[in-house]
Chain A
Amino acid sequence: MKLFAFVRERQWIPVTGYLIYVAALTAGYYYNLTFVQLGLTDLGTREIGMSPEDVSIVMAVLALLTLVAAVGSGLVMDRRGWSTDLYVKFRLLFLIILVQLLLTIAAPFVSTVEGFVLWVVVCSATLGLGIPVTFSFMLDFIPIRDRGYVAATVAGLSFFVAALYPVEWRIDEFSLVMSAMMVPAVLVLAVLSVKRFAFVDVLASQHERSTFGTGRFCRPTPVRTLSVALWGPILLMFGVFFIDSLGFLRIIEEPLYIYTSWQSPDLSVRFFIAVFHIVGAVAAGVLYTNFDRNWVFLWVFGLFAFTHLLYVFDVRFGVGETPALILPMFYVLAVSFYTTLNFALWPDLSTAETIGTHTALGVGIAGWLATFMSTALALYSEGIELPLGSHLTYVNTLSLLFVVALPVLLYVHRMFELARGEAAS
């Protein structure tokens, strides 16, 4: 790892960059996992009294608005050169966290549907802006060699903490804790937004070095926005997110499976899940760093296909008792794999000129659009009273399709390359 070399050479400024990146992304992702994804459901159903279906519709709207906000802000950041201006990004991040702090404080006081919708709209705007701002930090702080491992650290840490805390969701208590955690970050960012520091100047210029500023897959030729090299991974990641949320949305609604999921009341189960999140993330980091990215995609789809196969099998042939921990274990491995990939992939498909747009398109379409569509589909499948087994069979079909399609497409792509080469010769 390059980090060890920095430590050995006592270059503490680049090391600070690592710490800023891991802290910012871990905190942001943890907030998204807990307060947004779990908190909104609780807020809508328990506090306001909306039906789960209505809350799901609002969640889908949140996903769609986040996508729009992410793509819009990503394009603006690249056009105005903000993607490479660290001070501007610190100001934007200060604005995002300040608004999110206010939203977090306000959350327990939201008591009407109109207020809830307004809260969601403002939240989605900050989330959307936060995607190109935070993901583009990778170019400022993390050299290419370490991106897989750093992405693994962020994914592993976020999931580890989120799996263990909060054990019992209470919006008022959690709002208080989150607010207290956000205040120091707001203060630090406020200072960084208005005052220049020598160490920040050094960090701000790191993206000009090729080991930072030009992504791994942009060598020797940068990946263009309208190219298969970018849209292929976007499509694959869309498939991953879609499969995950479509399956998981229904699984966690089954009382039987809640006991072996994130929502388990048993702390030992949650600890098991938390530890396996770390194991999965580390494994993904090692594979991402040392193998072609297609291997990691193959692993993700393979793990999902097998996981859903296990769940379908358990739904069909299980005896109605709490399933073995092998089911969530594989699920957790798959989720950690693709989350690690999601953090590392988009910056590595970008240069300093395209980082805002590419991360916004990648995370926005693959993550948020997939969430929007899978939520809508899951609601539809509930609406027509599709049994869980059938629902999971469809999800399983999709994951198997991706498992088979990926190597076939790679093979065909290679054939085209060879044919073009022969034609040229």
Chain B
Amino acid sequence: MNLELIPLLIIVLLMISAGGVDVETTEFVIEGNHEITEHRGALIVGDAAVTIPDDETISGPVYVIGGELQVQGTVEGDVTQLSGSLAVEDGAAIDGELQHIGGSEEVADEAAIAERTPVEFTPAEPGPVAAYTPVVLTTLILSLVGAWLSRKRPMLLENIGTTARDHPVISLTVGALLSVTFLAVFVFMAFTLILLPVSILGLLIGLVAIAYGIIGLGYLAGKLLDMPRVGLATGLGVIGIMVLLQVAGAVPILGDLIAGGLLLIGLGAVVVTYFGLQKFEPVSLPE
């Protein structure tokens, strides 16, 4: 599953729980091409191509968070589009509200829409300043936290940094296993709706752990600068790591692998050192 879908999925599940829809009838279409001919309950369109054929009626509500939804028949409930693409063809009908928040939308003139509510955010093509503001802000916050931590509790970052440096394979393995498993567990929890708060909390803790890993790597990079002021060195190191992640992300496939690998090494190092509280030592084996 595309990782970018996860926050949208959580938002949708929050909407579903707020709307009082029965989770047992909720269907999440994650991949492939599908023709939905009868469905009673909420329908979430992920990375899939979903068609509601002519002369077919589904109850809804329908949420589009990725992929493609093509409506030829009738949706009795609301349709909410957060991302992906939506096409409502001639003769198709949406009896509820069509809410367009994001993604591409194409509604034929002859389509019958009971109510339309466009939610306008920023323009589709933000300028370079708007595009990089979140990254710059995140970098600034992480470098400040890193500088503060390296002055107040240097041992925490020392443990994380040295583990990432001395045991990258172990850190990467643990980070990869934990991220894959817990990501799936939290998404799965979200589907129960009851555990949705736990799921969101878990994902937030995961993000904090990844951020903490970046700070640990930044501390390690800062040490290479050989500066007397450890706070400044760590801050600059974190900036360096964030720039490296951005630059690597621009290179297709290999860059993504490097960036992902770095993040997972940081996460693994955080976990095996108990968030830096304990130096990691692999089990002792005879040479």
Residues of A in contact with B (beta carbons under 8 Å apart):
2, 143-145, 210-211, 216, 219, 282-283, 286-287, 289-292, 299, 302-303, 306, 309-310, 313, 317, 319, 321-322, 324-326, 330
Stretch at the interface among B74-82, B94-102, B180-188, B210-218: B180-188
Chain A positions within 8 Å of B286 at CB level: 143-145, 210-211, 219
Give 22 A-B contacts (CB < 8 Å), ordered by A residue: A145-B285, A145-B286, A211-B286, A283-B173, A283-B176, A286-B173, A287-B173, A289-B282, A290-B170, A290-B282, A290-B283, A291-B282, A299-B177, A306-B184, A306-B185, A310-B184, A310-B188, A313-B191, A317-B27, A326-B1, A326-B184, A330-B181
What would 7 more interface pairs be, CB under 8 Å, given A283-B177, A306-B181? A144-B285, A283-B173, A290-B170, A291-B283, A309-B188, A321-B32, A330-B184
List B contacts of A321 (CB < 8 A): 32, 34
Q: How far is the CA of A143 from the CA of B32 in the complex (A)?
A: 48
Q: A210-B286, A283-B176 are in contact. Are A313 and B188 (CB under 8 A)?
A: yes
Whether B169 is near chain A, meaning CB under 8 Å from some CB there, is yes
User: What is the CA–CA distance of A319 and B48 in the complex, to the nearest angstrom?
Assistant: 15
Which residue of B has the minimal Cβ distance to A325?
B31
Bound-complex Cα distance A145 to B285 (A):
6
Tell me which of A145, A286, A309 contacts B170 (CB under 8 A): A286
Q: Find out whether the CB atom of A292 lies under 8 angstroms from the CB atom of B177.
A: no
Query: Nearest chain B CB to A308's CB is how many angstroms away?
Result: 12
Q: How far is the CB of B58 from chain A (nearest CB, A)?
A: 12
| Chain A facing B: main interface SS | helix
B125 within 8 A of A: no
A118 vs B27: C-alpha distance in the bound complex, in angstroms?
51
Interface membership of B287, Cβ < 8 A: yes
What's the Cα separation between A218 and B154 when bound, in Å? Answer: 39
In the bound complex, what is the Cα–Cα distance between A144 and B287 (angstroms)?
A: 8
Interface code B109-124, partner A: CB below 8 Å = 1, 0 otherwise?
A: 0000000000000000
Query: Across the two chains, which residue of chain A brings its CB closest to B36?
Result: A319
Evaluate contact between A292 and B285: CB separation under 8 angstroms: no
A317 pairs with B181, CB closer than 8 A: no
Closest to A288 in B: B283
Give the distance to chain A from B67, nearest Cβ to Cβ, in Å.
13
| Across-interface contacts of B285 in A (CB, < 8 A) | 144-145, 216, 289
Q: Once the chains bind, are B27 and A286 in contact (CB under 8 Å)?
A: no
User: In this complex, which of A299, A309, A317, A330 has the most chain B Cβ atoms within 10 angstroms of its Cβ?
Assistant: A317
- Kindly supply a per-residue 1/0 record for chain B positions 269-287, scoring 1 wherever the CB is within 8 Å of any chain A CB and 0 otherwise: 0000000000000110111
| B residues at A contact (CB < 8 Å) | 1, 24, 27, 30-32, 34, 39, 167, 169-170, 173-174, 176-177, 181, 184-185, 188, 191, 282-283, 285-287
Distance of A138 Cα from B206 Cα, bound (Å): 39
Q: Is the CB of A286 within 8 A of B169?
A: yes
Chain A nearest CB, measured from B66 CB (Å) = 14
B34's nearest neighbour on chain A, judged by CB, is A321
CA distance A37 to B10 in the complex (A): 42
- Give Cα distance in the complex from A303 to B30, angstroms: 22
Chain B CB within 10 Å, residue with most, of A219, A282, A291, A309: A291
Out of B27, B176, B185, B283, name the residue touching A319 (CB < 8 Å): B27
Measured in the bound complex, the distance between the Cα atoms of B270 and A256 in whole Å is 40
Residues of B within 8 A of A216 (CB): 285
Determine the chain B residues whose CB is within 8 A of the CB of A302 once the complex forms.
Answer: 181
Q: B170, B173, B282: which has the most chain A beta carbons within 10 Å? A: B173
- Kindly state the separation between the CA atoms of A290 and B170 in the bound complex, as whole angstroms: 8
Q: A306-B185, A326-B184 are in contact. Are A290 and B30 (CB under 8 A)?
A: no
State whether B34 touches A211 (Cβ < 8 A).
Answer: no
How far is A404 from B185 in the complex, measured between Cα atoms in Å? 17
Closest 4 CB pairs of A and B: A290-B282, A286-B173, A145-B285, A211-B286
Shortest distance from the beta carbon of B82 to any chain A beta carbon, whole Å: 20
> What residues of B have a CB within 8 angstroms of the CB of A219 in the complex?
286
A144 to B284, CA, bound (A): 11
Nearest CB of chain A from residue B51's CB, rounded to whole Å: 14
Nearest residue in B to A313 (C-beta to C-beta)?
A: B188
User: Which listed residue, A143, A145, A289, A317, touches B24 by the CB 8 Å rule?
Assistant: A317
Please give, as numbers and ranges, the residues of chain B lying within 8 Å of A282 by CB-CB distance: 173
Q: Given A299-B177, A313-B188, A330-B184, is A292 in contact with B27 using a C-beta cutoff of 8 Å?
A: no
Cα(A324)–Cα(B191), bound, Å: 15
A299 to B184, CA, bound (A): 15
